[in-house]
Amino acid sequence: MSNLPFITASIKTFNEARGIEKTIDSIRRQLTAYPHEIIVADSLSTDNTRELAGAKGATVVTLVHPQERCCGVGHQLGYLHSQGDYLLLMDGDMELEDGFLDAAVAFLQTHPDYAGVAGSVQMDEGSNYEFKSRKQRLHKIYPLGDTDHLGGGGLYRRSAIEKIGYLTHRGLHGYEEAELGIRLRQAGYKLRRLDVPYFSHTSHAMPTLQMLRYRWRSRFLSGPGELLRSAWGKPWFRDALKITRNEAIFTLYLLALLLALVSGHGAAFAIVLLPLILFILLKAVKNRSLIAGLHSVVNLAAFSAGLIRGLFTPLRDPLQPPESEVVYRQGVEK
């Protein structure tokens, strides 16, 4: 009988001491029927995330260099240390919903043309604009049925990942799941979000503007531009552009607004400004708050600035493994 795990759960973390134990417990409850391993892929947390995860019996691997922290490196790090036939991707602020894993395994075993599946998502009441807006758009962000990518993770077939070379792009500060979905579909695979609960998520509690500053410092806002840069010259560039179209359109609009302003033609500037005013008013009416309308513009402007920044950011080779070390090692659980 093989000693290899059937499922590897990869949990990416950075300062997730508040929730990592609940994340591990929620996963382990559903893994008891399968030979498995739980890997916490940590980006050099400055709290005690690693110690808590190790005490829970997880294998803990960590980056060596803090400058390599980004959204894309986490699951790639977990993947490089994994052995399972299937890969369950989670974040350290999520809890896996009961029943998802059995449904996901059953679907993938009977649908070999699918590389990965996820499920429906539950979120708490966010305290800032980004997460409040995200909760309002859950059906758009996490649509059921066949989809172009699985935001928030999912259960993936290892053989499909091996076919495309790497799991997540270690150089992307965001949109790494979109980039993974693009490559899988280019390889002929499909992805599906099942009508079963997948995870519940704890939102960041930062105020809106503080959250944007954090996103800028961590370079998360550079994700759309980095995705486009990573796809440049590749057959899937149009797919990347489709995913980032809102940010790209708003970036072009802001550039047009800037040109109208510096041109000195007041009438031209007023004409170009009008769509922005209408957009703010529509958002304000929809959310019954002028502040929410203004926040939506500030949020889009921040992503536009990040897109430009990301376009000019050199990316690390996704096929080169990041330097890492194992700080806690556990065996296969049965």
Range of the domain at 102: 7-205+316-328
Full-model pTM: 0.89
The per-residue pLDDT for range 9-25, each reduced to its tens digit, is 999 999 999 999 999 99
State the pLDDT confidence band at 132, using cuts at 50, 70 and 90.
low
Q: What mean pLDDT is predicted for residues 150-172?
A: 96
- The mean pLDDT of the chain is 90
Residues 6+ apart with CB under 8 A from 23: 11, 16, 90, 91, 92, 93, 94, 95, 96
| CATH number of the domain to which 149 belongs | 3.90.550.10
The pair of three-digit structure tokens given for residue 246, joined into one six-digit string:
């809102």
Reported as a single tens digit per residue, the pLDDT across 96-124 is: 999 999 999 999 999 999 999 999 887 66
- Identify the bridge partners of residue 59 per DSSP, sorted by sequence position: 39
Measure the CA–CA gap between 254 and 272, rounded to whole angstroms.
Answer: 9
C-alpha–C-alpha distance, residues 38 and 25, integer Å: 10
One domain for residues 127 and 150: yes
Same domain (yes/no): 111, 47? yes
Share of the chain above pLDDT 70, in %: 92
Lowest mean pLDDT among 43-47, 123-127, 181-185, 305-309: 123-127
Residue 1 is assigned to a structural domain of this protein: no
- For 267-305, how does the pLDDT look when each residue is reduced to its tens digit (9 = 90+)? 888 888 898 889 888 878 877 778 877 888 888 899 999
171, 245: one domain = no
Lookup result for tokens 């998360």:
220
pLDDT at 324: 96
168 touches 180 (CB < 8 A): yes
The closest of 245, 232, 240 to 303, measured between CA atoms, is: 245
* 218 lies in some domain: no
With beta carbons less than 8 A apart as the criterion, state whether 119 and 194 touch: yes
Instruction: Annotate 96-126 with DSSP letters as a single string.
Output: EPTTHHHHHHHHHHH-TTEEEEEEEEEE---
More confident residue, 245 or 127: 245
Nearest to 90 by CA among 44, 53, 47, 35: 53
Instruction: Please say if the pLDDT value at position 128 is more than 60.
Output: no
Longest dimension (CA), the chain: 77
Is the pLDDT score of 126 beyond 70? no
As for how many domains the chain has, the answer is: 2
Same domain for 287 and 182: no
| Domain co-membership, 199 together with 75 | yes
pLDDT, greater one: 10 or 207: 10
Give residue 266's pLDDT band: very low, low, confident or very high (50, 70, 90).
Answer: confident
Residue 2 clears pLDDT 60, i.e. is over it: no
Q: Per residue in 75-91, pLDDT tens? A: 999 999 999 999 999 99
Quick check: is 171 in a domain?
yes
Residue 59: predicted pLDDT: 96
Q: Is the pLDDT of residue 1 over 50?
A: no
Q: Which helix (H) or strand (E) holds 280?
A: helix 266-287
Q: What b/e string do you get for 221-244 counting C-beta neighbours within 10 Å, with b at 16 or more? A: bbbbbbbbbbbeeeebeebbeebb
How many residues does this entry show for the chain?
Answer: 334
- The answer to whether residue 298 is domain-embedded is yes
